[in-house]
């Protein structure tokens, strides 16, 4: 195969639908919250994009955003090799909001001073408002905002005034009203900041004068038009997993190009109980979207036989998936395009645009790699079509509902690509897979019966590679323990273990021990993320 995939767009190539001529830009200085800022803006139905802090004033002028937001960041603005933005940005005449590091950078570049604070401020703080106009309109005095800083502004630039303070921070919010430059020392984008969304709305609507044009209907209309224009009369191949991303993509593409779309479902044997059968029946019988069901369970199980290292498991499963995919696509092809359910967080976190040109290190820490971005072989013979690559997960769910995707798929809990293989700690065997499938089914069945499925971000079972002593029917048993993992989260970036009723835990434990052969003990994982991760491997 010689024809290579087209390169993925970088963060410097924003997607701006024809139906949407308004946007806000977030310049990323390495904050883990940059994506969250973008999401909060989109919740106001205004389009936003995250770009590198190295984006020049001239590039921004060409994009013509209604407003610019400078994100937080892990460094001090006065530190050596600290990331700085183009100082010409302050002269563009475009409203700017600096958040935490972004505020301090604004102050420093415009002639003020930032120093190490006598007392840092972390966590909740009451905001005491000095000027309730513009940025702080309708933000209640004394409202809680979330602080996270060890530096503070000690001297404001000429033309700036204080909008608000806290007990420990004299300059908690500042502004140059004439030039429409604003800064806040706290993080309005996080859920802990009670007046944060009101502040963001003030900046978006009143200061930047945006209108709510970023809607689900507008996106669907433009995405269909864009796919038709890009693909023409060529064929498109989609690897269907049954999750909300690939299912929404299948629906969207089928609406756009009909029979030019071919869906392939590779059953590697690590799916949950009854899911492959339900997926095929749903798509083929109810939605009339043909799916080629590739049964490759034996190949995958042989590939991971005896492997206990979690990363090696992932690697082998990923490589085998590519091999099966290539073989089957040759049989079904030829195809010109490969469709992927890449989402915007994948694009942001996998981009190379946040590498500091002076030091060579990434400004933001990359927590994990993403299978949809950069994970394909270089000689794969497709061009890429990725209509969802500018959407967050919650936006994908809205699109799915709007185009007729069933609730059971739209609200489906996130499920890892390697499936149950990384919920079995240690070696994967047919026996262990069967035990875990049955235990996991009980978890899902019970929370569905009690109508609390949507109360959790994820709820599943984990099988440990040890055996424990038990007693059943007056006889000694030596069987596996099952770990229950039920967590709450907004976006999966952080998560907390769910405080479920003891009655539910009792029911789950009783059912699993009585109904699943090979299990004699059930335990509950009460670890949050961080320090743990949601998945065990």
Active site residue 189: yes
How do beta strands 181-184 and 161-165 pair? unpaired
Is the distance from CB of 50 to CB of 68 less than 8 angstroms? no
**Residue by residue, what is the 3-state secondary structure of 464-528?**
CCCCEEEEECCEEEEEEEEEEEEEECCCCCCEEECCCCHHHHHHHHHHHHHHCCCEEEEEECCCC
φ, ψ for residue 287 (rounded to 5)?
Answer: -105, -10
Q: Residues with Cβ < 8 Å from 524, sequence gap 6 or more?
A: 483, 484, 486, 497, 505
Active site residue 208: no
Q: Residues with Cβ < 8 Å from 42, sequence gap 6 or more?
A: 48, 214, 392, 395
Annotated catalytic residue, options 49, 85, 100, 210: 100
How big is the CA angle at 498 (ends 497 and 503), to the nearest 5 degrees?
Answer: 130
Active site residue 155: no
Which of 530, 512, 529 minimizes the C-alpha distance to 521? 512
DSSP 75: S
The neighbouring-strand residues paired with 521 are 481
Annotated catalytic residue, options 49, 187, 320, 537: 187
Q: Residues with Cβ < 8 Å from 451, sequence gap 6 or more?
A: none
Order of strands across the sheet that contains 383-385: 291-295, 261-267, 236-239, 337-339, 383-385
Helices within 232-309 (DSSP H only): 244-257, 275-281, 297-303
Annotated catalytic residue, options 121, 189, 275, 537: 189
**Angstrom distance (rounded) from CA 159 to CA 478:** 75
**Angstrom distance (rounded) from CA 423 to CA 310:** 10
Is the distance from CB of 500 to CB of 423 less than 8 angstroms? no
Which positions are annotated as active-site residues? 100, 187, 189
């Amino acid at each position: 195969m010689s024809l290579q995939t087209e390169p993925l767009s970088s963060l410097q190539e924003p997607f701006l639908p024809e139906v949407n001529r308004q946007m806000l830009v977030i310049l990323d200085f390495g904050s883990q919250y940059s994506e969250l800022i973008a999401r909060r803006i989109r919740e106001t139905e205004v389009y936003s994009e995250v770009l590198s802090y190295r984006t020049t004033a001239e590039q921004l002028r060409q994009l013509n955003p209604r407003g610019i937001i400078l994100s937080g960041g892990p460094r001090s603005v006065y530190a050596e090799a600290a990331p700085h933005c183009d100082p010409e940005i302050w002269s563009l005449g475009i409203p700017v909001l600096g958040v935490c590091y972004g505020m301090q950078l604004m102050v420093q570049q415009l002639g003020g001073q930032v120093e190490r604070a006598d007392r840092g401020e972390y966590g909740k703080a009451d905001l005491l408002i000095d000027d309730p106009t513009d940025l702080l309109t309708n933000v209640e005095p004394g409202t809680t905002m979330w602080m996270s800083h060890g530096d503070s502004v000690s001297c404001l630039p000429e033309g700036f005034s204080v909008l608000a303070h806290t007990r420990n921070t004299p300059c908690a919010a500042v502004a140059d009203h004439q030039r429409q430059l604003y800064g806040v020392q706290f993080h309005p984008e996080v859920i802990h900041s009670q007046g944060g969304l009101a502040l963001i709305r003030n900046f978006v609507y009143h200061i930047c004068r945006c209108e709510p044009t970023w809607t689900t209907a507008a996106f669907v209309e433009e995405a269909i038009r864009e796919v038709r224009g890009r693909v023409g009369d060529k064929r498109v191949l989609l690897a269907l997993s049954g999750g909300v991303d690939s299912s929404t993509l299948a629906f969207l593409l089928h609406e756009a190009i009909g029979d030019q779309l071919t869906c392939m479902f590779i059953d590697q044997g690590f799916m949950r109980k009854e899911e492959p059968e339900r997926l095929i029946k749903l798509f083929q019988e109810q939605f009339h979207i043909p799916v080629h069901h590739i049964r490759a369970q034996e190949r995958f199980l042989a590939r991971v036989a005896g492997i206990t290292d979690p990363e090696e498991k992932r690697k082998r499963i990923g490589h085998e998936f590519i091999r099966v995919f290539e073989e089957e696509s040759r049989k079904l092809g030829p195809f010109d395009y490969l469709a992927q359910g890449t989402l915007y967080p994948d694009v942001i976190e996998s981009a190379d645009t946040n590498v500091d040109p002076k030091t060579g290190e990434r400004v933001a820490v990359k927590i994990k790699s993403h299978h949809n971005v950069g994970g394909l072989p270089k000689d794969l013979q497709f061009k890429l079509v990725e209509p969802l690559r500018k959407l967050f997960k919650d936006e994908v769910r809205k699109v799915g509902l709007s185009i007729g995707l069933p609730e059971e798929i739209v609200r489906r809990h996130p499920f890892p690509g390697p499936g149950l293989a990384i919920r079995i700690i240690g070696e994967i065997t047919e026996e262990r897979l069967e035990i875990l499938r049955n235990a996991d089914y009980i978890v899902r069945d019970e929370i569905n019966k009690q109508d609390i499925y949507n109360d959790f971000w994820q709820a599943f079972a984990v099988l440990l590679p040890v055996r424990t002593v038990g007693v059943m029917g007056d006889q000694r048993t030596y069987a596996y323990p099952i770990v229950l993992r039920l967590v709450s989260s907004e976006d999966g970036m952080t998560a907390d273990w769910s405080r479920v009723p003891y009655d539910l835990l009792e029911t789950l434990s009783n059912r699993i021990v009585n109904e699943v052969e090979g299990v004699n003990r059930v335990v509950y994982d009460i670890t949050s993320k961080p320090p743990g991760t949601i998945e065990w491997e």
